A and B are shown apart, each in its own frame.
Chain A
Amino acid sequence: MSEQAHAEGSTRTFLIVWFWLLALTGVEVFLGYKQLELKIMLTILMGLSIVKAALIIAYFMHLRYEKPSMAATLMPALVIVIVLMNIFLPDSLRLLHMRPH
C-alpha cells in the first residue's frame, strides 16, 4: 500500500470535505424553514443527502482511492436493491385513498 500513499487524501482534503458536509447540513436546516412544496423539498433534500453520502463514501471511507473494481462491485448492487425496494412506495398512495377520512 505504500506506493499508493501519495494518492491518498491529505488532512487538508479531509477538512475540506468536512467543511462541505457541514455547509450542506446548514443548507438543509435553512430549507426546513422555507415553505416549499413537499415534492420540491423532498427532491432537494434527497439530492443533498446523496451528495453528502457520496462525499463520505469517496473520501472518509476511502473508496475513491481503492481499486475501481471495488466500487464497481459494491455500488451498483446497493443502488439496484434500494431502487427495487422503492417499487412498493407508490402503494402508500393507494393506502391513503382507501383510509376512511
Chain B
Amino acid sequence: MASHDAITERLSGPPASAWGGGVAPFATGSKKLGMWLFIMSDAITFGALLMAYCYVRVAAVEWPKPFEFYPALVKATVMTFILLSSSVTMVMAVQASKSDKRSSTVKWIMATMLGGLLFVIIHATEWVGLINEGVRLFHNPWGEPLFGAAFFTLTGLHMTHVFCGVIYLGVVATWFGKGKLSAEDVEVAGLYWHFVDLVWMFIFPLVYVLSIHQG
C-alpha cells in the first residue's frame, strides 16, 4: 500500500528528477514548431524536385552544359553571396528583436528584403537570357529537351519561395514595427528565410556548377 507521502507527491506533480519533456517536449512555441514542420515538408518537396532533376539528367544521352563563366556562373555566385548575406542580416534582425530594439529590427529585416529582391531581379535577368537563347520547357538548342523543364521548375519554385519570403518579411517588419508581433514571429520568419537560403545551397552546385560550359 502506497504511503500517504507518495500519494501526495503523485498528486502534486512529478519530482525534480523526472523526465522534463512531458509538458513542453521541445521547449518552444507552437508557431516555431509549426514553421519547422512546414520546412520539413517543403524540404521534401525540393528533395523530390532535385531528385527528378538528377533522374532526367542521368537518363539523358547528353545533358546541355550551357553556363559560361560570364554571365551565368558569375551571376549565380553573386546570387549565392547575396542570399548568404541576407541570412546574416536576418540573424541580426532576430537578435535585435530579442533585445526589443524595434526600429533596428525593422532596418535589418528591410536589408534582408533588399537581398531577396536583388536575388529575384538577377535571377529573372538570367531567365530572360536563357529564354532569348531559345530554351523552352521541352526543347532547347543544345540537346536533351527536358533541360528547360528541369531548370525552370527547380529554380522557378525556389524563386517563388524567395519572392513570397520578401512579402512575408515585409508584413512581419510592418507589424513588428507597429508592435503587433512579438520577437518569436520575427524568429519564425527568419527560419523560413534561412531555409530558402539552404535550398539554394543544393541548387547552386547541382544545377550551375555541374553544367559549366567546358571550353
Interface residue ranges, A against B (CB under 8 Å): 1, 5, 9, 11, 14-15, 18, 21-22, 25, 28-29, 31-33, 35, 38, 41-42, 45-46, 48-49, 52-53, 56-57, 60-62, 66-67, 69-70, 73-74, 77-78, 81-82, 85-86, 88-89, 91-93, 95-96, 99, 101
Contacts and interface: CB of A to CB of B under 8 A. Distances in A.
B136 interface: no
A28 B204 contact: yes
Centre residue among A49, A60, A73 by max chain B CB count within 10 A:
A60
Nearest to A73: B26
A49 B85 contact: no
B201 to A, nearest CB: 4
Contact of B81 (A25, A46, A48, A73): A25
A65 to B, nearest CB: 11
B157 interface: no
Kindly state the interface size class of chain B when it binds its partner: 35 or more
B56 interface: yes
A1 B183 CA distance: 12
Contacts, number: 132
Q: Is the interface of B mostly helix, strand, loop or mixed?
A: helix
A19 to B, nearest CB: 10
A81 B44 contact: yes
Given A32-B73, A56-B87, A60-B197, A74 B36 contact: yes
Given A28-B205, A62-B191, A92-B54, 5 more contacts: A21-B84, A32-B73, A67-B26, A78-B40, A92-B58
A61 B84 CA distance: 13
B54 to A, nearest CB: 6
Centre residue among B25, B187, B198, B206 by max chain A CB count within 10 A:
B198
Nearest to B202: A49
Nearest to B201: A52
30 contacts: A14-B92, A18-B84, A22-B81, A25-B80, A25-B84, A25-B204, A28-B209, A38-B210, A41-B210, A42-B210, A53-B202, A56-B194, A56-B197, A60-B87, A60-B197, A61-B194, A70-B36, A74-B36, A74-B37, A78-B40, A82-B43, A85-B47, A88-B51, A89-B55, A91-B55, A92-B54, A92-B55, A92-B57, A96-B58, A96-B59
A25 B77 contact: yes
A96 B57 CA distance: 10
A15 B88 contact: yes
Contacts of B51: 82, 85-86, 88-89
B91 interface: yes
Question: Which 3 residue pairs are nearest across A and B when measured between Cβ atoms?
Answer: A92-B58, A95-B59, A45-B205
